[in-house]
Amino acid sequence: MSRIAYVNGRYVRHLDAAVHIEDRGYQFADGVYEVVTISGGRLIDEAGHLDRLWRSLGELRIVAPMAREPLKMVMREVIRRNGIVNGIIYLQITRGVAPRDHPFPKNATPSLVITARRLPLAKAAKTAAEGVAVITLPDIRWARRDIKSVSLLPNVLAKQEARERGAYEAFLVDEEGMVTEGSSTNAWIVTKDGKIVTRPTGNSILAGITRAALLLELKENGIAFEQRSFSVAELLDAREVFLTSSTSYVLPVVKVDDKVIGNGHPGLVSQKLRALYEKFMARETA
Ligand code: PMP
């Protein structure tokens, strides 16, 4: 089955899919995106992702190129045409094509591109069973990290440095020495006295959809948590560390910089929370 992409109203062969060289996404990173997990052929937390997409569009004053219900139909059609059971769908909306000039163009039509691809489940399970390493790096991003903009250069540089240093992710640290989030994940700790902690949402981090789903699961299961900033010192001293994202789910961290966390294996709380999130996913796909 050849891969199919959706580009501005047409389903095209992935190989032939293209936008104009003066698309503002290409020239200014003037656009937003979402990545949604496909599990068992179903979209996980679709409503949360679409809510966030509309919020990002609103913050940048980009008009949605189509209403929510037709967009959901197009997403399903992309999944169907690509025959995807487990994987991800990627949506990108930019301000559209216009002669290069910084101010918003008067007559541009926003561009919508959707792609989907398979992701191997077995590898993810192995990674989760072993746990991953993270490094810490200064957070050099702009001040509106709540907007899911395609402007990801600091995130790209951080992830690359993580990979070059044998780590899965980089946790980013603000000027006060507090952890903001990962380059493409939200950061969590379990303190020595057993408290589950993650940074509150606001302009300094992306409001992760997985983060929100997990917080809801914690609430519903009567598991206490705190939404507050935590320092690098607390991170290194934590009993457990984990991260969340649509593609990583709940992923135990067993090493931060040169410090082994706990006994170097995924902690009990992290494992329990991964299982809770997997149960939530199972309900979404039922
Ligand atoms: N923070 C950043 C910077 C991200 O790019 C992502 C991935 N979209 C996340 C957090 C996790 O968000 P989600 O759970 O919605 O995938």
* Number of domains within the chain: 2
* Any ligand 1 atom below 6 A from CB of 139: no
CB 136 within 8 Å of CB 232: yes
Cβ neighbour number for residue 251 with a 10 Å cutoff: 27
Q: What is the pLDDT, as a whole number, of residue 80? A: 98
**How far apart, in whole angstroms, are the C-alpha atoms of residue 69 and residue 89?**
16
User: Is residue 133 domain-shared with residue 19, that is, in the same domain?
Assistant: no
Ligand 1 pocket check for 128: Cβ under 6 Å: no
Q: Is 126 a catalytic residue?
A: no
CATH number of the domain where residue 74 is located: 3.30.470.10
Q: Is 111's C-beta closer than 6 angstroms to any atom of ligand 1?
A: no
| Same domain as 270, residue 231 | yes
Instruction: Read off the amino acid at residue 27.
Output: Q
C-alpha of residue 245 to centroid of ligand 1, in Å: 5
In which domain, by residue range, is 31 found? 4-119
Q: What is the CATH number of the domain that holds 250?
A: 3.20.10.10
* Catalytic member of 148, 159, 195, 279: 148
Are 54 and 187 part of one and the same domain?
no
pLDDT, residue 124, reads 87
Q: Are 115 and 133 within one domain?
A: no
Residues 11 and 137 in one domain: no
Task: Pick the last residue of a domain from 64, 95, 119.
Answer: 119
Same domain, 211 and 81: no
Do 65 and 170 share a structural domain?
no
Instruction: Point out the domain boundary residue: 119, 134, 164.
Output: 119
User: Is the CB–ligand 1 distance for residue 204 below 6 Å?
Assistant: no
Q: Are strands 4-7 and 87-94 parallel, antiparallel or unpaired?
A: unpaired
Q: What is the dihedral sign for C-alpha 236, 240, 243, 248? A: positive
Same domain, 108 and 132: no
Same domain, 51 and 159: no
Please report the pLDDT score of residue 13 as a whole number: 98
Q: Do 160 and 261 fall within a single domain?
A: yes
Atom of ligand 1 nearest to the CA of 212: 14
**Ligand 1 within 6 A of CB of 180:** no
Please indicate, yes or no, whether residues 203 and 257 belong to a single structural domain of this protein: yes
Ligand 1 atom closest to residue 186's alpha carbon, by position in its atom list: 10
Among 94, 119, 144, identify where a domain stops. Answer: 119
172 plus 196 within the same structural domain: yes
Half-sphere exposure in the Cβ direction for 48 (13 Å, CA): 19
pTM comes to 0.97
Nearest in space to 159 (alpha carbons), one of 180, 184, 126, 179 = 184
pLDDT tens digits in sequence order for the chain, 286 residues long? 789 999 999 999 999 999 999 999 999 999 999 999 999 999 999 999 999 999 999 999 999 999 999 999 999 999 999 999 999 999 999 999 999 999 999 999 999 999 999 998 878 889 999 999 999 999 999 999 999 999 999 999 999 999 999 999 999 999 999 999 999 999 999 999 999 999 999 999 999 999 999 999 999 999 999 999 999 999 999 999 999 999 999 999 999 999 999 999 999 999 999 999 999 999 999 8
**Best probe residue, ligand 1, of 43, 140, 205, 245 (max atoms within 8 Å of C-beta):** 245
- Give the residue whose CA is nearest to atom 7 of ligand 1: 184
35 lines ligand 1 (CB under 6 A): yes
- What are residue 13's DSSP bridge partners? 4
